[in-house]
Amino acid sequence: MDYHDRTPPYMVVETCRDATVIITNKTPISAELIGQCPNLRLISVTATGYNIVDVAAAKANGVLVCNVPEYSTDSVAQHVFALLLELTNRTGRNARSVMNGDWSKAADWCYTTGPIMELRSKRMGIVGFGRIGKRVAEMAHAFGMEVVFFNKGKTSELAKAVSLEDLFSTCDVISLHCPLTPDNEGFVNAQLLARMKPSAILINTARGQLIREGELAIALKEGKLAAAALDVLSKEPPPADHSLIGLENCLVTPHNAWISQEARRRLLQTTLENIERFLEGRPQYVVG
């Protein structure tokens, strides 16, 4: 096995030309690349999302594509609530205030740097009700929240299915958990954001391209919604002048919802199993 920590685009074909199996995370596997790898039989994506692979081209060339669908469910759902609780309880901001000496100078025995919101009875809307969306729903119920979701064709005992417009109009917290497709790219736009309550919070731990980021920045500045918390952006790493970075009411973390040690161990173990099963003629987690 050859390991390459980072492969510049101009080196990808040369690196992969003789490979039987390609393991990739962020390096795109295009139709052109697949066509220049005559021995290729398996593309193993070390992630749940596989939009970096031209699956149709792989299938046309007799190449299987496998992913790892379940490794980060609990970690991502946990991160959703880490983001939400920071916005509602301001623990990080209040702790930094204490470190800066503000409590020592305070006139009263307690204070907060901003309003604190209780989650019980608030309405959580989940867009995309797969494994992670359902786990988020379970956690929201534990906080006493009402949960609704939008996912065409799905029903669930965990939550009530509603239209996308109703979800954005009525929810106090909206969390995105849908895969990126050509049909939903940029679906969170100015028109949809205008439906939100001025007190509402938008969370995205799915894909940055689901949101029109410039339009979200304007909505946040105009108070169309109270806050946003994002673990993903459309370009990663983002440019230093990104429109959402630095906004007082926008919390951004560096795509680390998935990155717990436990999740990474599951990711590597399942990737190893994907290759072993392929070699045994019993492939698993085949996509496309």
Q: Are strands 201-204 and 42-45 parallel, antiparallel or unpaired?
A: unpaired
Q: Are strands 250-252 and 227-230 parallel, antiparallel or unpaired?
A: parallel
Domain positions in the chain are 9-70+261-279, 73-252
Which of 79, 90, 177, 207 is the catalytic position? 207
Which of 185, 222, 236, 276 is the catalytic position? 236
Q: Is the pLDDT of residue 3 over 80?
A: no
DSSP string, 121-181: TPEEEEE--SHHHHHHHHHHHHTT-EEEEE-TT---SSSEE--HHHHHHH-SEEEE-----
Whether residue 255 lies in the annotated active site: yes
| 161 within 8 A of 154, measured Cβ to Cβ | yes
- The pLDDT of 198-216, averaged and rounded, is 98
Q: Is the pLDDT of residue 46 over 80?
A: yes
Q: Are strands 160-161 and 173-176 parallel, antiparallel or unpaired?
A: unpaired
Q: What is the pLDDT of residue 242?
A: 97
Whether residue 207 lies in the annotated active site: yes
Q: What is the pLDDT of residue 288?
A: 75
Q: 73-252: same fold as 9-70+261-279?
A: yes
* Average confidence score pLDDT of the chain: 96
266-286 per-position pLDDT tens digit: 999 999 999 999 999 999 999
Which of 41, 255, 264, 277 is the catalytic position? 255
Residues 6+ apart with CB under 8 A from 85: 91
Fold of 73-252: Rossmann fold (3.40.50)
In angstroms, the CA 108 to CA 54 distance is: 61
Q: Is the pLDDT of residue 191 over 90?
A: yes
Q: Is the pLDDT of residue 51 over 90?
A: no
- The pLDDT of 69-75, averaged and rounded, is 94
As given in the structure block, the two tokens for residue 236 are: 């990663």
Residue 7 pLDDT class (50, 70, 90 cuts): confident
Angle between helices 73-89 and 261-279 (to 10 degrees): 160
Fold of 9-70+261-279: Rossmann fold (3.40.50)
Which amino acid belongs to residue 216? L
Q: Is the pLDDT of residue 9 over 90?
A: no
Whether residue 262 lies in the annotated active site: no
As given in the structure block, the two tokens for residue 165 are: 């417009």
